[in-house]
Amino acid sequence: MNQPAVPVLEPGATGTRGLVEIKNVHKAFGHVEVLRGVTLTVHPGEVVVILGPSGSGKSTLLRTINHLEKVDAGHIAVDGDLVGYRARGGKLHELREREILAQRTHIGMVFQSFNLFPHLTAVENIIEAPIYAQHRSKGQARARALELLERVGLSDKTDVYPRQLSGGQQQRVAIARALALEPKVVLFDEPTSALDPELVGEVLDVIRNLADSGTTLIVVTHEMGFARDVADRVVFMDQGQIVEEGTPLQIFGAPRHERTKAFLSKVIEPAFNL
């Protein structure tokens, strides 16, 4: 586990927040089974990186955690709270939209395509959810937003519209936006895949900072170097199932499964053979 040496980003995150339990989750789109019985426990403060070829169900798994996708079978809980349902009288009752929205404020999400609101400035993007989802005062939300922007290195860009920012800067604003809700866990869905190679580093640095602060992170990425350096645990998925999981040393150094070996040899070796 990654011990928070210096709490750089989220000092509020303690060891008891952010336990994510995924039990035997199934999900199909039409006849295509995207998730076929995924079970995974992410401990508070742990950084889990999910690897796998495209179509392996990584992103879908991430999206089931905050109920953007409803699971067909299986259960997900964050800190013991079932996501999307309430257990009562031996039955699972679907939550109403308002309750689901409340749950989502504990689960931050960062998207591949940033999805910043283009008609709002950086700071307006960040304060929207704290004010309207968590009912904080405008002044409080703004003060916190400015603090977060400073921490992601963008304190000079508060009143700038997203289109006036580079891709890397946009993604850093998006991370600040997710953190403004003080989530228990932050989900990253290929956060650097839409970026120019030279901008990837600045975003990864911010995520690395966050990892050091002890917030639970679940990261889907193709950045092998990042996975090796930052992950406490690497999970390899293929065809809707978890094939193998272990420390970065185990997965990158001595993968046990043929499928993992084949994938890693394709992703890593070409870079070294240059």
Q: Interface residues with other proteins (CB under 8 A)?
A: 66, 68, 97-98, 101-105, 107, 109, 111, 113, 115-121, 128-129, 132-134, 161-164, 177-178, 181
Minimum CB separation of residue 11 from other proteins in Å reads 22
Burial call 81-105: b when 16+ CB within 10 Å, e when fewer: ebbbbeeeeeeeeebeeeebeebbb
> 73-78 and 32-42 as β-strands: parallel, antiparallel, unpaired?
unpaired
Q: Which is nearer to other proteins, 119 or 261 (CB)?
A: 119
Minimum CB separation of residue 102 from other proteins in Å reads 6
Minimum CB separation of residue 17 from other proteins in Å reads 17
**Token pair belonging to 175:** 């991370």
Q: Which is nearer to other proteins, 91 or 135 (CB)?
A: 135
Minimum CB separation of residue 4 from other proteins in Å reads 25
- Provide the phi-psi class of 34: left if phi over 0, else alpha when psi is between -120 and 50, else beta: alpha
> Any bridge partners for residue 107, and if so which?
185
Count the neighbouring beta carbons within 10 Å of the beta carbon of residue 210: 26
The burial class, CB within 10 Å (0-12 / 13-18 / 19+), for 52 is: buried
Q: Which is nearer to other proteins, 62 or 227 (CB)?
A: 62
Rounded Cα gap, residues 111 and 116, in angstroms? 9
Q: Which is nearer to other proteins, 170 or 260 (CB)?
A: 170
Minimum CB separation of residue 244 from other proteins in Å reads 29
Q: Which is nearer to other proteins, 104 or 233 (CB)?
A: 104
